[in-house]
Amino acid sequence: MKGFHKIHRLVFKTGACIGVLLLAACGPGGGSGGGGGDPIIAAWSAGFTGTEDAALATSIANTAEFRSANFNSAGRVAVDPHPFLLTKVHRALSTGVSGEGQVVAVVDDGFLTTHEEFSGKIIHEYGVVTPHLGSNHGTHVASIATGNYGTGDIMGVAPNADLHLSSFARNNMGGLAAATNDAAAKGAVVQNNSWGFDVVIGDAQAQMSGGKTAAEAMAAEVGDSSANWQSYINALNNFQNGGVIVFASSNNNLGDVDVSAGLPLLATELQEAWISVVEAKFSVDSDHNIISASLISTPCGQAAQFCLVGDGDTKGASDNANNAYETGWGTSYTAPQIAGGVALVAQAFPSLSPGEWRDRLLATANNNFFAGSESGSTNFGGGITHAYSNIFGHGVMDVAAALQPIGDAVVVRGSNLETGTRTRLGDATISTSGTYGDGLTRMLQEQEMAVFDALNGNFEIRADYFVAENQNRYRSASLDQLQDKGQAKTSLSFGESSDSVESVLYFGAQDGLAQLQTDLGLSSNLASNVSMLSFAETATAISQNYKTEFGHYGFYGFSGQHSENVNGSLSGAGALAQFDLGNSSLRVGLNQMVESGAFLGMVGNEAFNTPTLTSAQSVNLSFNSSLSNGFEVFGGAEMGRAVGQTNGDGFVTNFDDANFSGFHVGVAKSNLVQKGDRVTLSLAQPIRADSGNVTMNLPVGRDKDGNIIYDQVTGDLSPSGREIDFAASYFMELDAFSDLQFDVMYALDAGHIAGQRSYGIGASFKRDLN
């Protein structure tokens, strides 16, 4: 049996420093906390927002503790690359993450738990973790992963994370299995291993080709019993249920990954959430963009598809004193940077699985510096692929990119992310007619909704992002007159004509059954959207009137395309009774309408399913009276109730009864300035939803199995204001062939939004050239 030894994955700067006791002299000794921490702490306390703060990122990068974590050892390039700038730690921290609430497990040796970099942390210890046989390695490693901000010379990648510590030097493989299980039980989200065996993976693979299991092969190559090795492999596999394994590769170039960092190649069940780490020295430009890299450890080799590279040139905490520091380089100090990055990603995405945390870091790693010399590409699903190199793996960790949406952000409807229907954000909308004003927006503006990226990371967005408010628009009476809107209708009398019966068919009528609305007294040239009938366009209507002693009564029907949904329609029937009182008339009507593809003009697209059918009933009352001296007064009002139906798997599940109303009143004077002219004044309220609720099941997150979590939201659709339009127009005939018209409108609570104002002005000149 071959002898074995466990080795640290580091190289200390030696120079004039010889022996363990003298290593503290390689650093500046005791240190103090960096300044300017309050804005950073405030941001971290706010938690993950998903949005980078460029100014805060710069502030973090300029703190003394951030800068001091860098060390430029002999032989490195002239432009000193800061390892935290390479991995975009400052940008990640600017989003509000800090490792808060996360436990980082560190398997190492030589921990000084009272060091100022660990002050205030919860530290779980498995067994004895104090320095053993002169080792102080673990203190440095743990400080790079989780060193505090504000209590020392340096800071770690995840400064607010807690620790679980165990010693590889004091345990055999069975003991490490127990330590790993204890870390899992304590909720560790990552286990850092800056130790291992200097045996190339091919030697163990040769053992397995002869029929040995992975545990037997490891026992044969590096010692200990196969039973202990199997316990250790089982413990690592169990750990991956809740955390990622990070393993430093050998600092010696073995030509391939070693057996420790490459263990998943032997025990394939460990490939779920494992990252192997190698080291390189980098040449960068002034913005820390990588120009080139030179490997200074063993390559990723066969582990390339789950491997990252970094810069381990760091300054970290030493166990010589509670305020002592040291410098060093090696994969030992590259690996804890990755482990800290995992803690940040885990805090940001607590509902993702460890494998998904790992994939986010691999899929967003910076691989630009080896473009053109890729060894292959990994398909992470969701249309995301990422090239890797057998030397550098997937590249340098970019933890900031791992926190941002990867690929397109989408809304997903269904029970599970794997089987759900995905819709791009821009295609998922729910648009409201002017009926609702800001009602739906107000209902949803405090509601957070989950959207998902290509790797199923969940991000929060305000639900009112998806609301498109279509407010009431001013339509110039002058332009209507110019275009003959509401006037150039085609009609046809049919059936038996008599003095008491009139039957008329209107076809090709536009702009919301304008002719029928005029007949019902529900519109004027200054108020055309006070009735639900205004939702119909390109419509056909039929009416039949019966004359009586008091006036007439009649029935009508209509069908038209919906103005808010090209695939929808509005159809219905009604009855009207008109009472003639000298120069005045009073009309009372009843309507039964069916709205297809909308709910009082509300239309959903894709994830926000469109109402399939709306049944509405309304009663309307209108009048007009001709007074002396060319004066005329007129008006009309409609009140109604609508009930909507939905089906399908969209977010909208129910529409409660909605009450709506609209009215207009006006006065006109003919022959005011000259014969044939007309002045009209109008006061109107466009159709408004006075009450009504909608219920939605909105996605608010996911669990670790990818099941989508929904929250039922019910809210009032009534808007905050009530639009009142003041309008005036003046019409005059210039000659037998020409006319001129002016109009003006001013709206209070425009769009039914409290406090909003709007106005419009129109003018037209028309001349008949025939």
Active site amino acids: 108, 137, 332
Angle between helices 226-239 and 214-222 (to 10 degrees): 120
On whether the CB atoms of residues 293 and 120 are closer than 8 A, the answer is no
Q: For the chain, what is the largest distance between any 2 Cα atoms, rounded to a whole number of angstroms?
A: 121
Residue 403: what are its φ and ψ, rounded to 5°?
A: -85, -15
- Rounded to whole angstroms, the Cα distance separating 618 from 534 reads 13
**724: Cβ contacts below 8 Å, ≥ 6 apart:** 683, 684, 685, 747, 748, 749
SS (H, E, C) 450-494: EEECCCCCEEEEEHHHHEEECCCCCCCHHHHHHHCCCCCCEEEEC
- Rounded to whole angstroms, the Cα distance separating 619 from 639 reads 6
Torsion of CA 570, 575, 577, 578, to 10 degrees: 30
The residue type of 70 is N
The residue type of 663 is F
| Residue that is written with structure tokens 């810069």 in the block | 311
On whether the CB atoms of residues 596 and 574 are closer than 8 A, the answer is no
Residue 625: what are its φ and ψ, rounded to 5°?
A: -145, 130
Angle between helices 331-348 and 354-363 (to 10 degrees): 120
- Rounded to whole angstroms, the Cα distance separating 191 from 194 reads 10
SS (H, E, C) 392-426: CECCECCHHHHHCCCCCCEEEECCECCCCEEEEHH
- Rounded to whole angstroms, the Cα distance separating 659 from 641 reads 4
On whether the CB atoms of residues 738 and 764 are closer than 8 A, the answer is no
Please work out, in degrees rounded to the nearest 5, the angle formed at the alpha carbon of residue 454 by the alpha carbons of 449 and 456.
55
The residue type of 362 is L
- β-sheet with 430-432: strand ranges across: 467-469, 430-432, 603-604
DSSP 90-104: HHHHTTT-S-TT-EE
On whether the CB atoms of residues 358 and 399 are closer than 8 A, the answer is no
- Rounded to whole angstroms, the Cα distance separating 463 from 712 reads 13
- Rounded to whole angstroms, the Cα distance separating 360 from 339 reads 13
On whether the CB atoms of residues 601 and 564 are closer than 8 A, the answer is yes
**545: Cβ contacts below 8 Å, ≥ 6 apart:** 501, 502, 503, 504, 552, 553, 554, 576
Burial class (CB in 10 A: 0-12, 13-18, 19+), 54: exposed
Angle between helices 137-146 and 331-348 (to 10 degrees): 30
Token pair, residue 511, equals 């702009």
Closest Cα partner for 599 from 692, 526, 515, 678?
A: 692
Residue 615: what are its φ and ψ, rounded to 5°?
A: -105, 130
On whether the CB atoms of residues 21 and 323 are closer than 8 A, the answer is no
Residue 654 region by backbone torsions, left for phi larger than 0, else alpha for psi between -120 and 50, else beta: beta
On whether the CB atoms of residues 162 and 156 are closer than 8 A, the answer is no
- Rounded to whole angstroms, the Cα distance separating 678 from 133 reads 105
- Residue 281's DSSP bridge partners are 294
Give the single-character DSSP code of 338: H
| Residue that is written with structure tokens 């000084």 in the block | 112
